[in-house]
Amino acid sequence: MPYRPCPEPAATTERAGPLTGLRVVEMTGLGPAPYAAMILADLGAQVIRIDRPGGYPAPDPALDPAAAGRAAVTYRSRPHVRVDLKAEAGRALVLRLIAEADALIEGFRPGAMERLGLGPEPCLAANPALAYVRMTGWGQDGPMAGMAGHDMNFTGLSGALSLFGQDGRVPKGMPPLMGDMGGGALFAVVGCLAAVMNGWRCGEGQVVDASILDGSASLYAMVSGMAALGLHEAPPGGNMLDGGRHCYRTYICADGKAVVVAAIEPAFRKVLLDRLGLTEEPRFLSGRAEDEAYCTGKLEAIFASQPRDHWAALFDGSDGCVTPVLDLAEAPGSAQARARGLFETIDAVVQPAPAPRFGRTPGRIALGPADASRPSPDALCDWGLSEAEIDGLIDSGILADAD
């Protein structure tokens, strides 16, 4: 049998989506690990998050997901329990869950799970078909594997961060999207599902080494090819796709807000020039590198003459590839976002809806962040524990009671 049959969702669950029936144990971590688990849970996977007593320690007082409550968006869609992993009974409980799971996701430094007695060897012994997903910054091996770091450390070393420089300078800082979420979490999800499918086919599990270093390098595969062809040789900000051409960059408008111009193809540039009254300007038609500065300056002056929303309205419905740059408060209000239901509001917190979308088995946010942030020992009933066993673990201090 190449694949397992698709199981029906349990009658008591609120989960829905194409991953219904997939079971995942998540070890609570920061940033990319909970985001990867959120994606899986949003798409229907039965994920249980294992936290430590008192909650995961905050890296900074301002960045404490355990205290974020309704704003802990990446904790949504799955319950969590707090387990004393320093006790043998706590480790035994987690191994019991792992024995029933298809995958384990952990985001600790190399060796941390081994020190807890939950490394790949005992986990794969408990469940030989397990996908053991390890997400780190540097990877499981190499001279930097044991070093601390965060998103920008990893993307800086991979080469990815250098691609976002402008005017000869690298960025001062970037939100942890390209590294943690793109190069880390998304590759962990891909690796998890690939290893699970392979385990279903051959009955053997394996370790998935998903590093942000590797993933963020993979993200610029196309740019690597362009560089080999001589199409990405200028300093950052001077190339075809990073702001070096007048038809592919941002422009500041009269109100200080910005638009994106991305009319790369000749047919799209024709629409751009027509709507701006530039079809008779020979320098815009020449395609010569020496005309780029003139064309850019001309467009800067034009877009600076009117507010952003004027230009958004002028190009709305066209192939001119001119769109507004919206901030986080504005994005949910765009017509496209509203039409697609791109955002949902739960407990007054606006957050992205599950993605991607499935025609027959759509995902859903099964549990809001506030509820997901409170320990739910009763969730262990869905993993085969009886109420008496749960009560006994609470009484013995192995398992934290519900808040």
Indicate which residues carry an active-site annotation.
150, 180
Q: How would you classify the pairing of strands 103-106 and 349-352?
A: unpaired
Peptide bond into 356 cis (omega under 30): yes
- Distance separating alpha carbons of residues 15 and 57, to the nearest angstrom: 29
> Is residue 42 within 8 Å of residue 18, measured between CB atoms?
no
Report the candidate in 245, 291, 290, 252 with the shortest Cα–Cα distance to residue 268. 245
Bridging pattern class, strands 23-27 and 103-106: parallel
Q: Contact, 204 vs 177, CB < 8 A?
A: no
Q: Residue 384 in contact with residue 100, Cβ under 8 Å?
A: yes
Amino acid at 162: S
User: Nearest 5 degrees, angle CA 190-CA 194-CA 195?
Assistant: 120
What are the angstrom distances between the C-alpha of 190 and each of 121, 181, 216, 339? Answer: 22, 12, 14, 29
Tokens of 9: 């969702």
How many residues are recorded in the chain?
A: 403
For residues 241 and 232, the answer to whether their CB atoms sit within 8 Å is: yes
Dist. CA 232–CA 42, nearest whole Å = 38
From CA 192, how far away is CA 134, in angstroms rounded? Answer: 9
